[in-house]
Structure formats: C-alpha cells, structure tokens
Structure 1
Amino acid sequence: MVEFLQNVIAGLETGSLYALAALGLVLIYRTSDVINFAQGEMAMFSSFIAFTLFQQTMSYPVAFIGAVLFAVFLGFLVERVFIRPASKANLVSKMIITLGLIMIFNGVASALFGIDMHPFRKALTMDNINIGNVIIQPNAIFIISITLVIMMILFYLIKNTLIGIAIRATAQNETTAKLMGVPVSKVYSLSWIIATVLGAIAGILIAPTTNVSTTMMGEVHLKSFIAAVLGGFGSFVGPVVGGFVIGVFDNLVGYYISLQWKTVIVYALLIIILIVKPTGLFGKVHRKKV
C-alpha cells in the first residue's frame, strides 16, 4: 500500500505538468484551430531563460517571473509573425508551420545556450515529509498545488469573465463570435499567450527532474498531447483529467509491471479508449465553421 501511494503521489506530480501543457494545446486548438506541435520547444526556450536568470544570481521567484514574462512575449510573437499570416491556410499547412517552429526553436536554443544539460534547482529544498511510511517531497506538494491554483484561476476566467466568454464564443463558432462583436484576432493572441505561459510553467517546474537542455520537453510534450487526446480536444476539463490519468497510470505501470513496457501500455490504453470513444473521455463534436 505504501508503494502504491508513493507512486500515486509521484504520478500526480508529473500528471499535473502534463495537464498544464495539455490545457495549453487544447486552448490554442479550440480558438484558432491549430495544433501547436512546437509547444514543447517554446517551453524549453522559456526554461533556458529561467536558467540564464539563475546564472545571473537571480532568486527563484525572479527567474520564474522573468521566464513567464518572456513566454508572454514569445506566445504573442509566434501568433503574430507565424500563425496570423497563415490564418486562411488549411489545417495541414498550419501544422507544418508549427513543425517548422520546432526546428527553429531547437536551432536557436542550441546556438544561444549550447546542447549540454544543465542542472536546475527545485523550488523548495526542504526536508522530505514522512506520513506513516509514505515519503512526500515538499517540491511535489508545491508543483501539484501551484498547477491546481493556476487551473482554477484559468477555469474561473474562462467561465465567469468577459475574456472567458470571448474565448468560449470563439471556440464554439468563430463566425458568430465576429458577428457578435468579439475581437477574434485578440482572442487568438491571448490564447497563444496563455498556452505558452502554461507550457513555460510546466517546463520550469519539471526542469529539476529532466535538467535544462534542448531535448528536455520531448517526453513531456508527447505525453501532454496524449493527455489532450485522452481527455478530448473538445473540452477544457478533459485535458486536465487526462494529464493526471496519464501521470498516475504511467508511474503505476512502471512500478508494478515494467519500466520498459510502460510507454507501450500507456499508448495501448489510449488506443483502446479512442476506439471506444473517438472524441476522448470528455470530448464532444464541435462544429466551428459553416
């Protein structure tokens, strides 16, 4: 039982980060009809900014806020420079643009920061907490707590504010939203900014585990995409649930069955669920354009 609880806590820690990144993917897809395959690389770049600020003897809060502010600028820049000019392009063309961004961000990051791995400090370096025989790391509590707070704030904004109404209206039907006076272009920019910030936070929080490198977000981005598909791209709640499910299930399979087979089994679970429910656990069919 102790091992089970230990793996569940570890799964919740990583799953919360998958959920953050997955929520960003779905937010962009619902509003601008684009699957951002470069979100992992954008998060990696923001993590390098945080690492660079650390090297300048900045404190953790300053480095964290600095990287988040950079992510705001980066999300705005990518949407304005690369995505908006291709707004009339088909879905495949937009996907190719985001795939191209992977190469751009990897190349620029390698040129600026190098290809070496760099250790990254944890947010909290306190002693572990023992409850019974279960060992809980304070940093794990911090990660789970901050991601839950961020998600609650975001869900509140989406559900109860004018900005959230604009996002939901654009996600539901772009043409109708325009006719109702919603500034759709600003919603696109805001969605990219929020998604980039969510990815950056996930990158910074997982950096102590993966170290900071140009490849640090590869597995995280892949599993966040799986979480979004599992939960359903048609729902804002689904990716969050999918992220926690993938995180916990991944840890339990790795401990009780096999570390070598855990990825295969997770993918098999995904395929089975999608065969039974193609739109994901919480997904619904949304027709955005007529």
Structure 2
Amino acid sequence: MGRFVDLTLAGLTSGAVYAAVALALVLIWRSTRIVNFAQGGMLMITTFIAYTIISHGGSYWLALVVAVASGLVLGAVVERVLVRPVEKRSPLDAVVVTFGLLVLLQGAAGMLFGGTPRSYPPAFGIGGFQAGGRQLLFAPNDLWIVLVVLAVMAALALVFRKTSLGLRMRATAFAPEVARLLGVRVGRMLTLGWALAAAVGALAGVLIAPSTFVSPTAFDAVLVFGFTAAVIGGLDSPPGAVVGGLALGIVLSYVAGYLGSDIVTLASLVVLIAVLMVRPQGLFGTAKGRQV
C-alpha cells in the first residue's frame, strides 16, 4: 500500500509538470489554432535566462519573474517575425516553422550555454512530508508545483470564458475575417496569444527545472508528454490539459513502478490511442472546436 501511495504522489508531481506544458500548448491552440512544437525550445531558453539570474546571485523569485517576462517578449517576437508571414498559408507551414524554430533555439542554446547539464534550485524544500510515521514522496516543492498549475488553469479558464479579451481571442482563432468585421484587432490578438502562451511555458520551465537538469535538449521528453496530455484532455480546454497531465503522470508512474521505466513512452502512446479511439476530440474538448 505504501508503494502505491508513493507512486500516486510521484505521478501527481510529474503530471503537474506535464499539465503546465500542456496549458501552454492549449493556450496557443485556443488563440491561434496552431500547435507550437517549438514550445519546448522556448521554455528552455527562458529557463536558461532564469538560471543565469540565479547563478549571478539573484533570488529564485526574481529569476521566475524575469523568465515569465522573457517569455512574453519571446512569444510576441516569434509571432510577429516568424508566424505572421505564414499565417495565411497552409497550417502545415506554421508547423514546419515551429519545428525549425525548435532546432534553431536548441542550437543557439548549445552555443551560448554549452551542452553541460546544469542543476536548478527548487523554490521550497525537497524533503517529503511526514505522514503516519513514514516519509512520503511528496515534498513542499511538489505541492508548490501542483498549486501553481491549478491556479494557472483556473486563470486561463476564467479569461477565455468570462472576459471580453478571451472572447476576442477565441473569435480571432475560429473566424478571423468575421472578427475583423466586428472590430477585433486580429493581429494584436494573435500576438497576445503567443506572448501569453510563451509566458505560461516559461513558468512551466522554471517549475520543471529543479526535477531535471537544464540543458538544450533536457525538455524534449517533457514536451512530448505535455503534448500527449493536451491531446488527451482536449486542445480546447485548460481544465482538460490539467486533468490530462495529472492522469497521464499517474498512469506513467504506475507503469514505471510496476512494469519498468523502459516502457513508459510506449505506455503514453497506448493511453493516447485509447482516449482518441473513444473521444477523438479529447476528454474535455468539443467536436466543433476540433473541426475548425
């Protein structure tokens, strides 16, 4: 029983990490209808910026603020410079651009920071909580990650469902020409969507960093699992991204603990296929949203 509890708690922590990345992907999709495969590279760059702040004596919280601000700027620049010229072409062109950007960012990070993995300090302690006379595999820093992800999910859901800004962003994504006729500044909304998604990704990178080493390719696997979580939950749904991330993290934790870590990637593929066979739009997605 103790092993089951430990695996569940470990799955919640890793699932929150996947959910954080999934939230960034969902935000891009809901605001621009583009899957940003460069998200891992973008959050890697902002995490390196945060690491530089800390390595020069800055606090964790200063590094977090700088990383999020850097993400806002990076997302806006990427949309204006790289995505805007291909936005009226085939959706595949934008996907190719994001893949190319991923390779570019990883190469630039390798030249600027080197390929040596760096350790990143956590916000809070990593010693597990005590319960029933035993130490749990769930620490204050893990609790911090889960709470931040839930707060970001709630904020995004509120923005998209209850505010005029969210309505304009959704209208821009689904029907840009109609949105223009209604007075929506479509270009500005697209830029804002990319900026917010990159900021959420930067936050995710800082949350993830203490549990892995920071290097140009350190976040590739996290991006894959984050994308899987986003598709499972539904690319239109911030709550779905969180549920998909947490569920995937728990399932993969059980697989690694009971069957071996060698088949974790295969298990994530099996979970993804099983969900899509039952609900192609994802657990919380809508068929209409996926068809646009």
TM-score, shorter chain, exceeding 0.5: yes
Q: 1:183 to 1:116 in 2, by over 3 A?
A: same
Q: 1:36 to 1:278 in 2, by over 3 A?
A: same
Q: 1:252 to 1:159 in 2, by over 3 A?
A: same
Aligned to 2:172: 170
Which structure 1 segments of 5+ residues have no match?
none
Identity %: 38
Aligned to 1:53: 53
Mapped to 2, the partners of 1:240 and 1:286 lie a distance apart of 21
Mapped to 1, the partners of 2:155 and 2:180 lie a distance apart of 26
Aligned to 1:236: 238
Q: Residue type matched to 1:11 in 2?
A: G
After TM superposition, list the pairs within 5 Å mapping 1:26-41 onto structure 2: 26-41=26-41
Q: Secondary structure at the match of 2:287?
A: coil
Q: 1:17 to 1:229 in 2, by over 3 A?
A: same
Q: 1:215 to 1:287 in 2, by over 3 A?
A: closer
Q: 1:289 to 1:225 in 2, by over 3 A?
A: closer
Q: Residue type matched to 2:19 in 1?
A: A
Mapped to 1, the partners of 2:61 and 2:69 lie a distance apart of 12
Which structure 2 segments of 5+ residues have no match?
none
Q: Residue type matched to 1:217 in 2?
A: F
Q: Secondary structure at the match of 2:238?
A: coil
Mapped to 2, the partners of 1:98 and 1:192 lie a distance apart of 12
* Alignment partner of 1:9 is 2:18: no
Q: Residue type matched to 1:6 in 2?
A: D
Q: CA deviation at 1:288?
A: 8.9
Q: Secondary structure at the match of 1:260?
A: helix
**Number of residue equivalences:** 290
Mapped to 1, the partners of 2:200 and 2:9 lie a distance apart of 21
Mapped to 2, the partners of 1:118 and 1:14 lie a distance apart of 20
Q: CA deviation at 1:277?
A: 2.0
Q: Secondary structure at the match of 2:262?
A: coil
After TM superposition, list the pairs within 5 Å mapping 1:65-214 onto structure 2: 65-125=65-125, 127-132=127-132, 133-135=134-136, 136-214=138-216
Which has the larger displacement, 112-121 or 181-190? 181-190
Q: Residue type matched to 1:4 in 2?
A: F
Q: 1:151 to 1:215 in 2, by over 3 A?
A: same
Instruction: Select 1:271's aligned residue among 267, 273, 283.
Output: 273
Mapped to 2, the partners of 1:253 and 1:96 lie a distance apart of 33
* Deviations 1:170-196, CA, capped at 9 Å, x for gaps: 334323222222222111111111111
Q: CA deviation at 1:111?
A: 1.0
Q: CA deviation at 1:126?
A: 6.3
Q: CA deviation at 1:5?
A: 1.9
Q: 1:204 to 1:288 in 2, by over 3 A?
A: closer
Q: Residue type matched to 1:266 in 2?
A: S
* Alignment partner of 1:260 is 2:262: yes
CA RMSD of aligned residues (A): 1.8
Q: Residue type matched to 1:141 in 2?
A: L
Q: Confirm or deny: 8 A CA contact 2:31 2:190 kept in the other structure.
A: yes
Q: 1:87 to 1:285 in 2, by over 3 A?
A: same
Q: Secondary structure at the match of 1:237?
A: helix
Q: Residue type matched to 1:8 in 2?
A: T
Q: CA deviation at 1:125?
A: 2.6
Q: CA deviation at 1:31?
A: 2.4
Q: Confirm or deny: 8 A CA contact 1:22 1:224 kept in the other structure.
A: yes
* Deviations 1:225-244, CA, capped at 9 Å, x for gaps: 11111112233332221111
* Alignment partner of 1:285 is 2:287: yes
Mapped to 2, the partners of 1:238 and 1:288 lie a distance apart of 14
In the superposition, the TM-score normalised over structure 1's length comes to 0.94
Q: Secondary structure at the match of 2:130?
A: strand
Aligned to 2:251: 249
Which has the larger displacement, 158-167 or 232-241? 232-241
